[in-house]
Amino acid sequence: MDIKEYVVNIGIKGKAAARLMASINTEDKNKGLLNIAKALLENKTYLMEENEKDMIAAKENGLSISMQDRLLLSEKRIVEMSQGLNEVAALNDPIGEGIKSWKRPNELRITQVRVPLGVIGIIYEARPNVTVDATALCLKSGNSVILRGGSEALNSNKAIIKVIKDSLLSSGLPYDAVQLISITDREAVNIMMKLNNYIDVLIPRGGAELINNVLANSTVPVIQTGVGNCHIFVDSSADFKMAIDIIINAKVQRPAVCNAVEKVLIHKAIAKSFLPLLYKVLIDNKVEVRGDAAALAIIKEITLANEDDWYKEYNDLIIGVKVVEDIEDAIDHIYKYSSKHSEAIITENYNNSQTFLNKIDAACVYVNASTRFTDGFEFGFGAEIGISTQKLHARGPMGLYELTSSKFLINGNGQIRK
């Protein structure tokens, strides 16, 4: 079978499974999720053995330590994945929910209800836990899912998928509701990105390169997730202690995630007094500081940032610092360089808080809080499939609801249009 035939065949099976999934009731979907959760624990030795093959290859191929860490399936991680499935089973089922309903003057009753999207494609890196998390959310929301994980995790993913599919079978759920593209040839992804007849939406999860590749080449609708070049603007009226606490939290608590802060903009009126205080705490926390000329004029140890820095998501203990003229200058800088993920202002000035909330174009705009709260759990949505940084369909943390569509049901008694 050639690659195209292989991928199209997966698409056909995924679409057939999606049709079945749309009619499966909440109880049966939950039972399936709980069975998978149980089966993962029962098969943990098998999963860890298969993961070990990937880990050995990763070391041989010199994968970075942080990538090796993401690839590892420890017993603890398997327990967490299993718990994640139980948590998704406990969430409300959005499918069938009435969105609105009204009666027209001609007595037609129109009711908008939630339905699944259909077939969801997930393209991601070598993180086996995504295989389970994405499966859980897609199944609960009545969709079928086609997974394409990073080739470094192939043995781990194949093992996880085997456990999942066996559980689907024993739970009476469609066997093809979860499928893995196990050809590592990149051509498989290229074909997947053109599979408009069989895939309803593609969600790339990973770094900027992965996401940009999907955006540039997919004709299947894409939900753009994750890249976060987040800013915190410290206004002239800011409470210095609050500003420093928030910046350190947003940078240091988990630097490799998309809601970590990457740039701090400081109002020029307080730059001389505030920056030295901030700089000291950053250095104490082992954060490398890059800055513009005005920042260097205050702290000469700061490295000069170049134009690329202002666009960059470091995902590391590095931060960019820039002195700005005023709030409008800050807003302009953010408009130009931001990835429209999460932006914050630290201020005690009411008007400036409102200006910032109104004018910043981003999924999440904060006043006096850490950007780290942009997260499905922190918002109270439960598990998330990613954080959308686009404007179509979903924006911000995406949970079960963002994996649904709707349809209109119209009840009549013989109405015709005049």
Provide the minimum distance between the beta carbon of 134 and a copy of itself in the complex, in angstroms, as a whole number.
17
Residue 47 CA to residue 41 CA, distance in Å, equals 9
Cβ 245 to a copy of itself shortest distance, Å = 6
Residue 340 beta carbon to a copy of itself: minimum distance, rounded to whole angstroms: 9
Q: Which two tokens stand for residue 23?
A: 């009619």
- Of 29, 366, 398, 400, the one binding a copy of itself (CB under 8 A) is 366
SS3 state of residue 263: strand
Query: Smallest gap, in angstroms, from Cβ of residue 219 to a copy of itself?
Result: 6
Under DSSP, the state recorded for 325 is: S
Q: Which of 5, 9, 361, 401 binds a copy of itself (CB under 8 A)?
A: 361
Closer residue to a copy of itself, CB minimum distance, 108 or 304 = 108
* Least gap, CB of 69 to a copy of itself (angstroms): 21
Total Cβ atoms within 10 A of residue 14: 27
* Shortest separation between residue 17's beta carbon and a copy of itself, angstroms: 14
Find the Cα–Cα–Cα–Cα dihedral 356, 358, 363, 366, rounded to 10°. 40
250-309 residues near a copy of itself, rule: CB under 8 A: 250, 253
Interface residue with a copy of itself among 208, 242, 277, 299 (CB under 8 A) is 242
Q: Which residues contact 115 (CB under 8 A, 6 or more apart)?
A: 22, 95, 96, 142, 404, 405, 406, 407
CB of 66 to a copy of itself, least distance (A): 20
Site residues for a copy of itself, 316-355, by CB under 8 A, read 335, 353
Quick one: CA torsion of 267, 269, 270, 272, rounded to 10 degrees? Answer: 110
Residue 367 in contact with a copy of itself, rule: CB under 8 A: yes
Give min distance, CB of 406 to a copy of itself, in A: 6
Residue 56 has φ and ψ, to the nearest 5°, of -60, -45
Tokens standing for 342?
Answer: 């999460």
Q: Find the binding residues for a copy of itself in span 386-415 (CB under 8 A).
A: 390-393, 395-396, 405-415
CB 193 within 8 A of CB 109: no
Among 160, 278, 324, 364, binds a copy of itself (CB under 8 A): 364
State the virtual CA torsion across 300, 306, 311, 314 in degrees, nearest 10.
-60
Nearest to 205 by CA among 164, 150, 270, 249: 150
| Among residues 9, 170, 196, 273, the one that binds a copy of itself under rule CB under 8 A | 196
Question: Mapping DSSP to helix (H, G, I), strand (E, B) and coil, where does residue 286 land?
Answer: coil
| Per-position x/- string for 24-63, each x denoting binding to a copy of itself as judged by CB under 8 A, each - no binding | ----------------------------------------
Which is nearer to a copy of itself, 166 or 239 (by Cβ)? 239
- Taking CB under 8 A as the criterion, the residue among 131, 155, 225, 370 binding a copy of itself is 370
Residues near a copy of itself (CB under 8 A), total: 69
Q: How far is CA 145 from CA 91, 128, 174, 177, 260, in A?
A: 19, 15, 11, 6, 29
CB 202 within 8 A of CB 227: no
Least distance to a copy of itself, CB of residue 201, Å: 6
User: What is the number of other CB atoms lying within 10 angstroms of the CB of residue 331?
Assistant: 23
Query: Which member of 60, 64, 65, 102 binds a copy of itself (CB under 8 A)?
Result: 102
The whole-angstrom separation of Cα 351 and Cα 379 is: 26
Q: Which stretch binds a copy of itself (CB under 8 A): 134-142, 146-154, 218-226, 275-283?
A: 218-226
Distances (CA, A) of 264 to 62, 197, 276, 338, 352: 34, 45, 13, 12, 17
- Report the 10 Å Cβ neighbour count for 43: 19
**What are the structure tokens assigned to 257, written together?**
């995630």
Q: How far is the CB of 45 from a copy of itself (least distance, A)?
A: 34
| Least CB distance to a copy of itself at residue 366 (A) | 5
Q: Which two tokens stand for residue 65?
A: 């330590």
Considering beta carbons, is residue 142 or 206 the nearer one to a copy of itself? 142
Q: Using CB under 8 A as the criterion, which residues of the chain lie in contact with a copy of itself when the complex forms?
A: 19, 22-23, 102, 104, 108, 110, 112, 115, 117-118, 196, 200-201, 215-219, 221-223, 239, 242, 245-246, 249-250, 253, 335, 353, 357-359, 361-370, 372-374, 378-380, 390-393, 395-396, 405-417
